Amino acid sequence: QVQFVESGGGWVQPGGSLRLSCAASEDISRFSVVAWYRQAPGKQRELVATIARGGSLGYSDSVKGRFTISRDNTKNTAYLQMNSLKPEDTAVYYCNRRPAVATNWGQGTQVTVSS
């Protein structure tokens, strides 16, 4: 079973930036789609961004134009560059395949946006 380890979260003021990393224990080029998800307190986990093997990108409306997903297959790592962060972006961020595989969820990385 592939394991994903997320990192790069932290506290940032509104308007700031963070870059999240997702290291996979296996060759991520095997996965047709890798995705970032997030879960805010008291809310369901939601899809944030996707990147397909061929390079196609997808974003939720709430982050489009602010977040950029990428992947480096040589490092088995996916990234999420987050700019112009807003308080409503506060959540635990996870990566997984798309569709997500329940046994592949990692611990996530906390992102807190506040002044």
Could you give the CA distance from residue 98 to residue 101 in angstroms, rounded to a whole number?
8
Q: With a cut of 90, say whether residue 103 has pLDDT above it.
A: no
- Which amino acid, one-letter code, is at 40? A
Q: With a cut of 90, say whether residue 102 has pLDDT above it.
A: no
Could you give the CA distance from residue 10 to residue 26 in angstroms, rounded to a whole number?
26
- Dig out the tokens for 73 from the structure: 């297959």
Longest dimension (CA), the chain: 41
- Which amino acid, one-letter code, is at 49? A
Asked if 9 and 20 count as a contact pair (C-beta separation under 8 A), the reply is yes
Give residue-wise pLDDT tens across range 13-71. Answer: 999 999 999 999 999 989 999 999 999 999 999 999 999 998 899 999 999 999 999 99
